[in-house]
Amino acid sequence: MTYWDKEKECMPREQLQKLQLRRLQETVYRAYAFVPAYKEKMDQVGVKPEDIKSIEDINKLPFTTKQDLRDNYPFGLFAVPMSDVVRIHSSSGTTGKPTVVGYTSKDIDTWAELMARALYCAGASKHSVVQVSYGYGLFTGGLGAHYGAERVGASVIPTSGGNTHRQIMLMQDFETTELMCTPSYALFMYEVMREMGIDPSDLKLRAGIFGAEPWSENMRREIENKLKIDAYDIYGLSEIIGPGVAIECNRKAGLHIGEDHFIPEIIDPETCEVLSEGEEGELVLTTITKEALPIIRYRTRDLTTLNMERCECGRTHARMAKVLGRSDDMVIIRGVNVFPSMVESVLLNIPGVEPHYLLVVDRKGNLDELEVHVEVSEQVFSDEVRKMESLGLQISKELESALGIAVRVRLVEHKTIERSEGKAKRVIDKRNI
Amino acid sequence: MAKQISVFLENKVGRLAHVTRVLGEAGINIRALSIADTSDFGILRLIVSDPAKAYQVLKDARFTVSETEVIAVQVPDSPGGLASVLEQMTEQELSIEYLYAFLGTRGDDALVIFKVEDISRARKIFNEKGIKFLDENTLYKL
């Protein structure tokens, strides 16, 4: 087992917590002193930086949400003068004002280190050829992955997203060994490979590091079987730093959070109460080394659990379970929480059914209805109506038993559900609520 | 014995027009067709002049397509003609998935396309009972 930074990654927890406390205290002091919005929030609840005497005191601090970033658009939460900011990233702002994040050169360095750790953890090295098919630009995925892959010393192919035929041609000709993109794009690449008559087992590809959207264990199996690779889950969000916040090791038993840079907590998304280890809830992250944009107790909306036990791989950092879904991606139908990943899992358990699906929620009269669109692949297509209807019925029965609500399944033509080169859109909510 | 091309179609405006256009542009003639429809989707079944080519062009046009073995039976073109064929099949407990008429005749006979559960048994029974059916090459050229 090799580590990128053994001292940090395998630091005994006691020592790690001391480091975390010192860094947390610094961060809170800086945020309070230099960011009026943080000072105001802390004053409101009557907490001062010197009140943070132990790691547990973190729960005295107020939460930060996406709305806080929007309210302080664009640079209101920055803790350094703009002359120290060397990079700005931003969300697309499709659901409101964009959220803007900034980095000092030390932040960029931290990020590259985290990504290098992640890549190393997933088996990449200076001998690797890493293809970065995350979008380059305002989105943190592309550049974040790029800097990490360069830091490792790999040969980086910055293909960015899109132009899938060319992506695959380069993958073949440049002998890509690691692919970085969203899991849904990886599956789309597989489809295009098939169309191009390329057998994935003829490629040099050995691993994929996939993130930026929640994906199920079944989806992992599907990708691994189809592309003949090892698929690793990477976690991150631009508000915290970008990709590289957490990564799976080859045990694939949870994602190691870079705890020397972030403090994770799990809370009940309704009551905001901090939950204990192993309980499922919303992940809250605090950055403890970020200079330009320190973020205190950020509500990620991602639902997971934490495991503080030392991993078999030797790393001591807390592991978060694969993200089950987002509390805002979740749709509540007749009081039942439904995540797209649950639908995905069910579909992948039915032979021949592919994970291309769309949840359409609508309100008919006073009743919410869930319709799941599922593509008919050649494998499951039959010329007999009876068989097609029983396929639809089987899918809806299995969905109903997994989700606990009535589901109408609509069989749609192959390749008509939009393929995404970035984050896949899985839910259309037509209710006006 | 003959090959039928089956196509999965959503119930959406213009899908059928699209299938037939794709075939037309490839110079493929449709000799028989039927559609089985439900509220969400339909299954189009076609007998065409060149099934292998039809399969490929439809697949290239991103339709979900399959090839299905069917049997083209010659049925006396007179009252009771089909009834007597069906009665003999019933007697032999030969179950039929579906059937549809072919556009055109063979001599004095009408042609009916049958999809049966067990095609080799069907052929055997037809031969025993003297029910005529067409080989595929004759059928595509009709």
d(CA B94, CA B99): 13
Positive or negative CA dihedral for A349, A350, A356, A360? negative
- Chain A residues whose beta carbon lies within 8 Å of the beta carbon of residue B38: 385, 388-389
Please report the beta strands in A1-81, taking only residues with DSSP state E, as ranges in sequence order: none
Is the separation of the CB atoms in A411 and A357 below 8 Å? no
A163: Cβ contacts below 8 Å, ≥ 6 apart:
none
| pLDDT reported for residue A335 | 76
Query: Number of A:B CB contacts under 8 A?
Result: 56
Chain A, nearest residue to B40 by Cα: A410
Give the per-residue pLDDT at B136.
83
- The Cα of B90 is separated from the nearest Cα of chain A by a number of Å equal to 20
As beta bridge partners, residue A61 has none
| Residue ending a domain, choose from A327, A361, A389 | A327
Query: A189-223 pLDDT, tens per residue?
Result: 999 999 999 999 999 999 999 998 888 898 899 99
Lowest mean pLDDT among A228-232, B56-60, B107-111: B107-111
User: At the top level of CATH, which class does the domain B2-69 belong to?
Assistant: alpha beta
Q: Identify whether residues A205 and A95 lie together within a single domain.
A: yes
Which residues in chain B are contacts of A382 at CB distance < 8 A? 6, 66
What whole-number distance in Å separates Cα of residue A122 and Cα of residue A229?
A: 12
* Tokens, residue B33: 């067709």
In CATH, what number is assigned to the domain containing residue A424?
3.30.300.30
Please indicate, yes or no, whether residues A313 and A245 belong to a single structural domain of this protein: yes
What is the per-residue pLDDT for A432?
A: 63
| Number of domains chain A is built from | 2
Q: Which residues on chain A are in Cβ contact (under 8 Å) with B65? A: 378, 381
Query: Which amino acid is located at A72 in the chain?
Result: N
Nearest to A176 by CA among A166, A191, A162, A185: A166
Regarding whether A99 and A170 lie in a shared domain, the answer is yes
A196 to chain B: nearest residue by CA? B60
- Which domain does A235 fall in, by range? 1-327
CB-based burial of residue B97 (10 Å sphere; 0-12 exposed, 13-18 middle, 19+ buried)? middle
Could you say which residues from 390 to 409 on chain A have a Cβ atom under 8 Å away from some Cβ of chain B? 392
- Contact across the interface for A381 and B40, Cβ inside 8 Å: no
Kindly state whether residues A113 and A101 are assigned to the same domain.
Answer: yes
- A350 and A416 in a single domain? The answer is yes
Q: What is the pLDDT of residue A94?
A: 60
Instruction: State the pTM of this model.
Output: 0.79
Q: Where does a domain end: A299, A327, A355?
A: A327
Task: Write down the pLDDT at residue A93.
Answer: 66
Q: Distance (Å) from the C-alpha of residue A389 to the closest C-alpha of chain B?
A: 9
Together in a domain, A317 and A292: yes
Q: pLDDT digit string (tens) for A112-146?
A: 999 999 999 999 999 999 999 999 999 999 999 99
Residues A136 and A148 in one domain: yes
For residue A66 the two structure tokens come to: 């996406």
Is residue A382 less than 8 Å (CB to CB) from chain B? Answer: yes
- Tell me where in chain B the CATH 3.30.2130.10 domain(s) lie: 2-69, 70-141
Q: Is the dihedral of CA A57, A59, A61, A64 positive or negative?
A: positive
| B30 SS3 class | strand
Q: Where are the alpha helices (DSSP H) in B8-141?
A: 15-25, 51-60, 81-91, 119-129, 136-141
Shared-domain flag, residues A316 and A364: no
Please check whether residue A202 touches B, CB under 8 A: no
Question: In degrees rounded to 5, what are phi and psi of residue A271?
Answer: -95, -15
pLDDT for B85: 93
Please check whether residue B40 touches A, CB under 8 A. Answer: yes
Q: Do A112 and A210 belong to one domain?
A: yes
Per-residue pLDDT of chain A (433 residues; tens, 9 = 90+): 589 999 999 999 999 999 999 999 999 999 999 999 999 999 999 999 999 999 999 999 999 998 999 999 999 999 999 999 999 999 876 666 889 999 999 999 999 999 999 999 999 999 999 999 999 999 999 999 999 999 999 999 999 988 999 999 999 999 999 999 999 899 999 999 999 999 999 999 999 999 988 888 988 999 999 999 999 999 999 999 999 999 999 999 999 999 999 999 999 988 999 999 999 999 999 999 999 999 999 999 999 999 999 999 999 999 999 987 777 777 888 778 888 888 998 999 898 898 889 999 998 877 788 999 999 999 999 999 999 999 999 999 999 998 888 999 999 998 888 887 777 788 888 886 5
Statement: residue B115 has pLDDT above 60 = yes
The answer on pLDDT for B52 being more than 90 is yes
Q: Are residues A308 and A337 in the same domain?
A: no
The whole-chain average pLDDT of chain B stands at 92
- Is any Cβ of chain A less than 8 angstroms from the Cβ of B68? yes
Supply the CATH number for residue A142's domain: 3.40.50.12780
The Cα-based distances of A416 to A166, A167, B57 in angstroms read 22, 22, 18
Helices (H) and strands (E) in chain B, counts: 5, 7
Chain A residues touching B68 at Cβ < 8 A:
383
**Phi, psi angle pair for A187, to nearest 5°:** -70, -35
Question: Which top CATH class is B70-141?
Answer: alpha beta
